Amino acid sequence: MGKKFISEFKFNEQVDSFFMLLKKELKMTKYDKPYLQLTLSDRTGKIEGRLWDDAARFNEMADAGDVAHVKGVVEKYREEKQLKVDLLAKADERAFRFEDMVRVAQNRDKVEADIRMILEGFTNPWLKSLAEAFLGDTALMAAFRDAIGGKMWHNAYIGGLMEHTYEVMCIVERMAGLYPQMSRELALMGAFMHDIGKIEELDPRKMEYTDQGNLIGHIILGHKILINKISLVQTFPADLAMRLEHMILSHHGEYEHQSPVLPKTLEATVVYQADELASQANAVKEIIQNEASEGKNWSQFYGIKNRKYFIRDHSGEDWGVNDARKERPFESKGKEAVPEAPEGDSEGDLFT
């Protein structure tokens, strides 16, 4: 059986293929009949599914996190594709390729190498030692490499956390050139570790929150990881530790966004705004990539942002210009990805 990818689905098409079962919930119709609400995925995208007949029996045949053999038909629901499922069963591992089931960020080796190059290039002895404590933890870095950046909204794929982290670091690097009053290396360290708690918050296989993620959350989990790493560096300055802790604890920016504290340093402010910019831009980019191919002017409604997005391609417009970069920032060659700090950079005066 050949793999049918979600991105290839067309309305009224019969589907008989394998998909990752991200979510499964047994519900009741208004007539008290059980049905299954499903979220299926592969490396090309996600789709919602509904199984109406014999739901209780099929509910026992596969669990969230399994690769499932699925048969059904692609239907239209509120102008979007939805799969009406007729069969659901846990797949034999010999019947599919796992790499077809999950999306993986491109260029992970290059992204990881660039992150390491930035951190290994620190000149501040305390920050350099702290960076080495992170980079030398092979289990942590392996988890960081595979972690997802989010469950649904941005960078929601294997390697997404590392990709998002690097994008935040790139923005912080550019901001350091505009604001020489900022400690470049302190801010870059904050950018690197701001979401590190997501390696424990989110299960990259199930694309779901772990028990720790639900009960504690990545901000506090990341703070605990930082405290552990700081403890490995003898006589680490207390004031520097406080500033690093503050960047993790304040990176959500606002109390209503579950931030324990508000950003109150220049470095924390820049990291928060860089995180916000990178995450929102990535999410809108994904919406455009996933929906613009269908020839629509507007995306579906996204409740998380309370809006639709205008996604029509502008390349054919009279004013349109082909000004898109050919390479993403992390595909730059050599040290071009890490510009030199401007004169007047202040981190050399701090914590020495």
Residue 61 DSSP class: S
How many helices (H) and strands (E) in the chain?
12, 7
Cα dihedral value 46, 51, 52, 57, nearest 10: -160
Phi first, then psi, for residue 253 (nearest 5°) are 85, -40
User: Scanning the structure block, which residue is given the tokens 């050919």?
Assistant: 326
pLDDT at 339: 45
pLDDT at 296: 81
pLDDT at 153: 73
Sketch the domain layout of the chain as residue ranges: 6-101, 108-349
Cα dihedral value 270, 274, 275, 276, nearest 10: 110
d(CA 268, CA 250): 7
Q: What is the pTM of this model?
A: 0.78
How far is residue 284 from each of residues 119, 300, 302, 311, measured CA to CA in Å?
29, 12, 11, 9
Report residues of the chain scoring pLDDT below 50. 330-352
d(CA 134, CA 119): 10
Residue 126 DSSP class: H
Residue 307 DSSP class: B
d(CA 219, CA 197): 6
Residue 311 tokens, joined: 């996604």
The strand ranges marked E within 120-225 are 202-203, 208-209
Q: Which long-range contacts (CB under 8 A, 24 or more apart) does 204-210 make?
A: 204/146, 204/147, 204/148, 204/158, 205/65, 205/102, 206/22, 206/64, 206/65, 207/20, 207/22, 207/41, 207/148, 207/151, 207/156, 208/22, 208/23, 208/64, 208/65, 208/151, 209/151
- Non-local (6+) Cβ contacts of 224 within 8 A are 197
158-179 pLDDT per residue, tens: 999 999 999 999 999 999 999 9
pLDDT at 324: 55
pLDDT at 351: 42
One-character DSSP codes across 229-292:
HHTTSTT--HHHHHHHHHHHHTTT-SGGGT-SS---SHHHHHHHHHHHHHHHHHHHHHHHHHHG
Cα dihedral value 303, 307, 312, 315, nearest 10: -110
Question: Do the Cβ atoms of 53 and 38 come closer than 8 Å?
Answer: no
- CB-facing half-sphere around the CA of 230: CA atoms within 13 A: 19
pLDDT at 337: 45
pLDDT at 67: 92
- Non-local (6+) Cβ contacts of 289 within 8 A are none
Domain 108-349 coded CATH 1.10.3210: yes
Residue 325 tokens, joined: 């970069």
CATH number of the structural domain 6-101: 2.40.50.140
**What count of other Cβ atoms lies within 10 Å of the Cβ of residue 196?**
25
pLDDT at 143: 97
Q: Which residues on neighbouring strands pair with residue 23, listed in sequence order?
A: 39
236-271 pLDDT per residue, tens: 999 999 999 999 999 999 999 889 999 999 999 999
- Give the pairing of strands 80-90 and 45-51: parallel
